[in-house]
Chain A
């Protein structure tokens, strides 16, 4: 499969700090990227997306940055809260409606 990977498998942050989760992708033709959050025992939930013609997109407390030059994607979570503790996946759309997912980063928020 495509190499959609995450630099760090685990990340621990203090409550209130900002979190940055990174993702590398290998297919320069990918045109659409999504970040998902998966809480224990549940299915992944959409957080934010970005298209390849954009460098940055902001949502509520989350920002996604896309660097096509180095094929890197990051998710920034501002003022991290205990409810943000979860596994975060990036996904890239390579062709049609097929997505490749990364292996995930586990975020733990320390109260």
Chain B
């Protein structure tokens, strides 16, 4: 258990509103990730971070931005939410360079 906490766990919002999801970890892991999970697609990488202020895009980054101002926090922002961003979002961290990912419990976002 890497002590990963996601907030909020559930959110319903309207199209066009900004949304920020927070991931907090207590294990001092260097790498952090945001994935989305949708039926038929499995887990898809949105953005990831390899250190404070160091982030990069994943395969489905359009419409999302991230920030990492502290090792323990990784924020995912939807500047203007769309219905296609209705999904379950998972934060993950990994231990050094082992590749083993530890996941949070997920944040279910519904965009009406």
Residues in chain A within 8 A of chain B (CB atoms): 1, 4, 32, 34, 36, 41-46, 49, 89, 91, 93, 97-104
Contact = CB atoms under 8 A, between A and B. Distances in A.
6 contacts: A44-B90, A91-B101, A97-B50, A99-B45, A103-B40, A103-B41
B103 A97 contact: no
Contacts of A100: 45, 59
A44 B99 contact: no
Given A46-B102, A97-B94, 18 more contacts: A4-B42, A34-B100, A36-B101, A43-B4, A44-B90, A44-B101, A49-B100, A89-B42, A89-B43, A91-B101, A93-B99, A97-B97, A97-B99, A98-B45, A99-B99, A100-B59, A101-B35, A103-B41
Contacts of B94: 97
A99 B94 CA distance: 12
Interface of B: 4, 31, 35, 40-45, 48, 50, 58-59, 90, 92, 94, 97, 99-106
Contacts of B103: 43-45
B99 A103 contact: no
A34 B50 CA distance: 20
Pairs of residues from A and B, 9 with the lowest C-beta to C-beta distance, nearest first: A43-B103, A101-B43, A101-B42, A103-B42, A44-B103, A1-B59, A32-B99, A43-B105, A46-B100
